[in-house]
């Protein structure tokens, strides 16, 4: 006796609930059908690939041939659908002896929005079987999971007949950068909990990069089947966006697939910024604020967060995520900032000493000036020892001033060197003012 075929579609796990028919009259073929399961991507922009586990039993007294080509999915006021020729053949052509059954997945590419109510099979001759589905099956737009989904990243069609060459180059660079960086960036942003795959077509969500200025956006609903993301390489005022900012923008727009809706939100963003602690650097505020809280660099570019906060991961469907580790940039910046403050205190001390020495030096200069009257004739012998003592005191004080100036300048040079290392770190990971 043939065993039922136990088959799976690659990359698709199907859990079915078999609807068992009542005993069939003798001399017929009987069909059972599981619950349709669909992949989370759109095929050719408006179809979904859905599979049904079908079991066909030969209740006749003669063998017959069974294959997937005989199956049809019947709809409510819509044309019957034949199995997809592009899907793997999960029910190969085979001869079914009396009393035997064959089982496998039958896969269809179904238009989004249509409804189906039964699976049928028409065999050779007059043999046929019909099985109503457990319930009417409506083909909806795919629902994505932040745990694992796919994207395409492509250049959008030009908005003008003559796009700016600079913006066209920025668009092409952004497409290449997003394709290369998004998978690792998504995993890092979700603390290792999510997986994103960049594919060439039939993705869970398409990303279109525009060679013009505009506001990047996540779109869904209305006349649009599924979802899409539009990323602009420049702001409406024409400022070209840096690659790092493009990546943060991509993560932000992808986050809109699941966030942020309901209480505590406004226009799909948080209505209040939440600070999770300065040790997290720019990631202390998360990614889903409007606008994204970025640090402006001296050249006008921006460095932006690249990790989701705890509340954002909850909105994405992740429970009990691992804690976000401190940003080492903050610790390094704090260490250098503390050194600058220490050197500033040393400068205050040396400056106070230098002021005292210069006050004393002014006194010695006045004492020495009393002997200027003797420049032409020379200091009288009776006053010479006193003059020598006064001059020696002046020279000693001048030497002390020179030493204090050298110490002050050395501290200034060290402070400037530390400050040169501190500033780019603070600009990258600390809020304005170093907080």
As a whole number, mean pLDDT of residues 72-88 equals 87
- pLDDT over 50 (residue 6): no
pLDDT tens, residue by residue, 353-408: 999 999 999 999 999 998 888 888 888 988 989 989 999 999 999 999 999 999 99
State residue 358's pLDDT score: 95
Q: Which of 325, 359, 377 is the last residue of a domain?
A: 325
314 and 268 assigned to the same domain: yes
State residue 124's pLDDT score: 62
Q: What is the DSSP string of 8-70?
A: -BTTB------BPPPPPPTT-EEEEE---EE-SS-BTTTEEEEEEEEEEEE-SSS-EEE-GGG
> Which 3 state secondary structure label does DSSP give 279?
helix
> Is 8 inside any structural domain?
no
User: How many other C-beta atoms are found inside a 10 Å radius of the C-beta of residue 434?
Assistant: 11
- pLDDT over 80 (residue 135): yes
As a whole number, mean pLDDT of residues 151-174 equals 86
298 and 375 assigned to the same domain: no
Q: Which of 325, 348, 363 is the last residue of a domain?
A: 325
340 and 194 assigned to the same domain: no
299 and 348 assigned to the same domain: no
Q: Which of 80, 106, 138 is the last residue of a domain?
A: 138
Percent of the residues in the chain that have a pLDDT greater than 70, as a whole number: 90
199 and 231 assigned to the same domain: yes
Report whether the peptide linkage leading into residue 291 is cis, meaning its omega lies within 30 degrees of zero: yes
- The CA distances from residue 121 to 86, 176, 283, in Å, are 20, 47, 57
User: 347: exposed, middle or buried (C-beta count within 10 Å: 0-12, 13-18, 19+)?
Assistant: middle
State residue 213's pLDDT score: 92
- What token pair was written down for 36? 């349709």
Residue 250 CB partners (closer than 8 Å, separation 6+): 178, 182, 185, 207, 229, 231
320 and 370 assigned to the same domain: no
State residue 245's pLDDT score: 95
> Would the pTM of this model clear 0.95, i.e. be above it?
no
Percent of the residues in the chain that have a pLDDT greater than 90, as a whole number: 57
Q: Are 142 and 228 in contact (CB under 8 A)?
A: no
CATH number at residue 337: 1.10.287
CATH number at residue 40: 2.60.40.1240
pLDDT tens, residue by residue, 115-130: 999 999 887 665 678 8
State residue 125's pLDDT score: 61
- The CA distances from residue 188 to 65, 209, 325, 343, in Å, are 52, 22, 11, 38
Chain mean pLDDT for the chain:
87
Q: Are 121 and 31 in contact (CB under 8 A)?
A: yes
- pLDDT over 50 (residue 7): no
333 and 320 assigned to the same domain: no
Question: Residues, the chain, total?
Answer: 435
99 and 157 assigned to the same domain: no
Percentage helix, strand, coil for the chain under 3-state DSSP, each rounded to 5: 35, 25, 40
- What token pair was written down for 281? 């650097």
> Is 6 inside any structural domain?
no
CATH number at residue 212: 3.40.390
Q: Are 191 and 321 in contact (CB under 8 A)?
A: yes
**DSSP 8-class letter at 306:** -
Confidence of residue 265 (pLDDT cuts 50, 70, 90): very high
- pLDDT over 50 (residue 163): yes
Confidence of residue 19 (pLDDT cuts 50, 70, 90): very low
Range of the domain at 354: 329-429
Domains: count for the chain? 3
270 and 311 assigned to the same domain: yes
423 and 289 assigned to the same domain: no
> Is 103 inside any structural domain?
yes
40 and 181 assigned to the same domain: no
393 and 303 assigned to the same domain: no
């Amino acid at each position: 006796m043939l065993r039922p075929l136990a088959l799976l579609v690659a990359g698709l796990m199907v859990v079915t609930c078999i609807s068992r028919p009542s005993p069939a009259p003798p001399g017929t073929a009987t069909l059972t059908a599981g619950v349709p399961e669909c992949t989370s991507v759109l095929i050719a922009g408006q179809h979904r690939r859905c599979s049904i586990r079908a079991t066909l039993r030969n209740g006749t007294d003669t063998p017959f041939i069974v294959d997937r080509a005989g199956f049809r999915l019947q709809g409510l006021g819509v044309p019957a659908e034949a199995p997809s020729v592009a899907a793997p053949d999960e029910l190969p052509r085979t001869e079914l002896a009396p009393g035997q059954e064959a089982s496998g997945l039958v896969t269809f590419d179904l238009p989004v929005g249509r409804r189906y109510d039964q699976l049928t099979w028409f065999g050779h001759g007059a043999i046929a079987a019909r099985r109503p589905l457990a319930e009417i099956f409506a083909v909806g737009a795919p629902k994505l999971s932040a745990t694992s989904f796919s994207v395409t990243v492509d250049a959008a069609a030009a908005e003008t007949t003559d796009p700016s060459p600079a913006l066209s180059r920025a668009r092409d660079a952004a497409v290449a950068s997003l394709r290369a960086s998004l998978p690792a960036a998504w995993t890092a942003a979700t603390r290792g909990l999510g997986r994103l795959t960049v594919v060439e077509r039939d993705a869970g969500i398409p990303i279109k990069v525009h060679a013009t200025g505009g506001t990047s956006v996540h779109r869904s609903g209305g006349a649009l089947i599924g979802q899409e993301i539009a990323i602009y390489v420049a702001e409406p005022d024409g400022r070209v966006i840096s690659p790092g900012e493009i990546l943060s923008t991509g993560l932000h727009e992808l986050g809109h697939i699941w966030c942020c809706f309901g209480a505590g939100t406004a226009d799909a963003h948080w209505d209040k910024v939440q600070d999770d602690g300065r040790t997290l650097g720019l990631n202390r505020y998360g990614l889903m604020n409007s606008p994204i809280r970025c640090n402006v660099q001296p050249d006008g570019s921006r460095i932006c967060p690249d990790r989701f906060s705890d509340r954002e991961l909850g909105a994405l469907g992740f429970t009990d995520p691992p804690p976000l580790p401190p940003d080492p940039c903050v610790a390094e910046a704090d260490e250098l900032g503390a050194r600058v403050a220490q050197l500033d205190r040393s400068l205050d001390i040396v400056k106070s000493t230098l002021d005292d020495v210069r006050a004393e030096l002014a006194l010695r200069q006045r004492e020495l000036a009393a002997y200027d009257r003797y420049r032409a004739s020379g200091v009288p012998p009776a006053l010479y020892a006193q003059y020598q003592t006064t001059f020696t005191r002046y020279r000693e004080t001048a030497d002390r001033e020179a030493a204090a100036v050298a110490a002050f300048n050395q501290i200034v040079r060290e402070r400037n060197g530390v400050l040169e290392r501190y500033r780019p770190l603070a600009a990258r990971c600390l809020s304005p003012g170093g907080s």
